[in-house]
A and B are shown apart, each in its own frame.
Chain A
Amino acid sequence: MTLLIFVTIGIIQQRRLFAVVILAGAYSFLMASVMLVLDAVDVALTEASVGAGISTVVLLATLHLTKTIEIHSLRPTAIPLLLSIVVGMLIVWGTLGLPPFGTADSPIHAHVAPRYLSQSIAETGVPNVVTAVLADYRGFDTLGEVTVIFTAGIGVMLLLRGLRRRDEGRSGAEQ
């Protein structure tokens, strides 16, 4: 967790975007390790492959197509800093009511989770409860997720296909 904080400070300070992207990848791997410690193995795997892998590749591709140096902005940083701190205080105030970390009797463990844990073997036959819930109990959520990814993919393809066509048009005009 402390390493995460340091990496984040590095991302804020660093102006070379290449370094920012690499730090973001390191951040994702650290986040995956933290998830692993918190017993969320599926989430850790996804974060390591998707967050640290695909995100970094996509960010690097963007840097390849654009610029890699961030200019020094002239706008004041006091107002955003103040706003962030105020929001942070509000969130801290909100988390004061949370139950203590790691206890088994907090409200989150009292609703449907015990049912998932006790019945999923009989109902789905899958030992990994996360998979059982994802694919069986909450299949519609996953359908919605796939819809979102599909839409995003179409959007990216449309935006970038236009880019290639305009490039060809420009080089054709130069010739």
Chain B
Amino acid sequence: MDILFDLAERYNYAATIFLMVAGLYIVIARGNMVKKLVGLSIFQTSVYLLFIEPSKIVGGTAPIIDPDFSIYSNPLPHVLILTAIVVGVATISLGLALIVRINEAYGTIEEDEILNNGDGG
């Protein structure tokens, strides 16, 4: 059972880190700006996961006070991540508005094409 728990723990963190690295890779490697923002949001959600994971207690329940339960997971990371999710959506919306504006000015949302246009003209 201990070995199973160990594996589960490693697997959680490993998957979270994979998501984080994948988001980073999309942000750096892809030229399309919409895709870059999707990558950024993947990166963000992986950070949420990294915060939420330590707050879980095996055998505990959600932090809503009830006489039937005595073990609750830690509410503080939940609060922080609630704030982070909403702020993340706000920043993503702002980025998308900027993309719309860039598309209007350059006629494209690909970084490479924008750079080429800059060289040519």
Contacts and interface: CB of A to CB of B under 8 A. Distances in A.
Contact of B42 (A8, A101, A121, A142): A8
B82 A134 contact: yes
A102 to B, nearest CB: 3
Nearest to A39: B73
B100 A149 contact: no
A31 to B, nearest CB: 5
A107 B19 CA distance: 25
B8 to A, nearest CB: 6
A58 B96 CA distance: 8
A31 B78 CA distance: 14
B101 A159 contact: yes
Contacts, number: 269
A98 B30 contact: no
A8 B54 contact: no
Interface of A: 1-2, 4-5, 8-9, 11-12, 17, 20-21, 24, 27-28, 31, 34-35, 38-43, 46-47, 50-51, 54-55, 58-59, 61-63, 65-67, 70-71, 73-75, 77, 80-81, 83-85, 87-88, 91-92, 95, 98-104, 106, 108-109, 112-113, 116-117, 120-121, 127-130, 133-134, 138, 141-142, 145, 148-149, 152-153, 155-156, 159-160, 162-163, 166
Given A20-B38, A66-B103, A73-B32, 13 more contacts: A20-B35, A38-B52, A46-B86, A47-B85, A65-B103, A66-B34, A71-B110, A84-B24, A88-B21, A95-B17, A116-B76, A152-B93, A153-B90
21 contacts: A11-B26, A24-B41, A39-B73, A43-B85, A51-B41, A55-B41, A58-B92, A58-B96, A59-B38, A81-B25, A85-B21, A98-B54, A109-B74, A130-B78, A134-B83, A145-B86, A148-B90, A152-B90, A152-B91, A163-B100, A163-B101
